[in-house]
């Protein structure tokens, strides 16, 4: 992995910008235009049905709807790394979770198939124990 501003890094910056836009606004089109047909993801939600690998664009849209129902946050990238097959972004999320102030540091790891996102896996800094549906 390397940290650089080269043209290859732009796919991770672009991927994260689209990811951030989806979570912050609920608009998923920019992110979903960047994924492969066999797209999959894993998020650290301690809830039945979300605690394993998820598949497809529709499931990502469901994730965004759910997340926005309990979390209103803004994401700030801290570190971006990339190699030929993967991109990593460490970011800060700040906002409101279930009506309470929320601040956390997370990491998202993208797996690429050429310039498209084949999968992502999100890791959370502080466990999300109180992450419940409203």
pLDDT tens per residue, range 5-64: 444 568 999 999 999 999 999 999 999 999 999 999 999 888 899 989 999 999 999 999
pLDDT at 87 (0 to 100): 97
CB 82, CB 102: distance < 8 Å: no
pLDDT at position 76 over 90 = yes
- What sign has the CA pseudo-torsion 62, 15, 101, 128? positive
d(CA 12, CA 117): 9
Percent of the chain, pLDDT > 90? 78
The full set of domains in the chain, from first to last, is: 7-124 (3.10.450.50)
């Amino acid at each position: 992995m390397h940290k650089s501003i080269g043209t290859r890094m732009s796919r991770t910056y672009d991927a994260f910008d689209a990811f951030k836009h989806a979570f912050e606004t609920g608009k998923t089109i920019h992110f979903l235009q960047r994924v492969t047909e066999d797209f999959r993801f894993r998020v650290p939600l301690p809830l039945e049905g979300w605690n394993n690998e998820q598949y497809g664009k529709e499931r990502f849209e469901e994730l965004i709807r759910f997340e926005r129902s309990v979390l209103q946050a803004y994401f700030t990238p801290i570190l971006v790394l990339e190699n030929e097959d993967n991109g990593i972004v460490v970011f800060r999320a700040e906002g409101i979770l279930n009506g309470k102030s929320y601040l956390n540091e997370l990491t998202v790891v993208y797996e690429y198939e050429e310039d498209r996102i084949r999968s992502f896996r999100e890791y959370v800094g502080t466990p999300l124990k109180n992450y419940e549906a409203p």
